[in-house]
Amino acid sequence: MSLALRTPLCGELGIEYPIFSVGFGVSAGPELVAAVSNAGGCGVLGGIGVPTEELQRRIARVRELSDRPFGVNVIIADVEDPQAPDEDRAEVREQIALAVEARVPLLVLFWGPPAEFVEGAHRNGVKVFIQVGSLAEAGRPRARGGGGARVGSRDGFSCPKSSAC
């Protein structure tokens, strides 16, 4: 007897298993993303620390290696941080615009208010996940327009934005 891991989320995203790789910056490169996606999960490219031009090359490379659904993760905390340099805020917006324009199947946004990005993504057929740092935050994404929440943590512990994680 085999156990079925297929969930409604799998059908929504076109994946076989509800397994996502972490879009952890430069470490989450095209080869890893394609391997996870080709195995039936959803590989997620990391955007943090990756210049927009390089992210564009990485998206293209994933598409060379796989025809399966994948995502791009962008940390959006700088968008509303008054202390963040203007170029950092601009790069976050450029990365999101690139992912939407490239029509990646899934955009994963983390640590910030996603509302300004959701409608444009949906209009272009891009699904949006809002990664949150705690279970308390997990109930809020739908109200903010996201299609789902992914509770992320470091070392298995809850990691809210206000902590040192």
Residue 131 predicted with pLDDT over 50 = yes
- Per residue in 43-93, pLDDT (tens digit) is 999 998 899 999 999 999 999 999 999 999 999 988 888 999 999 999 999
**For the chain, percent of residues with pLDDT exceeding 70:** 81
How many Cα atoms occupy the beta-carbon half-sphere of 61 within 13 Å? 17
Q: Which is more confident, 94 or 147?
A: 94
Whole-number pLDDT of residue 149: 45
Rounded to two decimals, the pTM is 0.82
| Of 114, 109, 74, 80, the residue nearest 95 (C-alpha) | 74
| Number of Cβ atoms within 10 Å of the Cβ of 148 | 17
**Mean pLDDT of the 13-22 span:** 94
Reduced to 3 states, what is the DSSP secondary structure of residue 35?
helix
Structural domains present in the chain: 8-158 (3.20.20.70)
CA distance 43 to 62: 9
| DSSP, residue by residue, 101-128 | HTT-SEEEEESS--HHHHHHHHHTT-EE
- Per residue in 101-124, pLDDT (tens digit) is 999 999 999 888 899 999 999 999
Residue 153 predicted with pLDDT over 70 = no
| Of 37, 36, 71, 76, the residue nearest 55 (C-alpha) | 71
| Number of Cβ atoms within 10 Å of the Cβ of 142 | 12
For 96-100, 123-127, 139-143, which range has the lowest pLDDT when averaged over its residues? Answer: 139-143
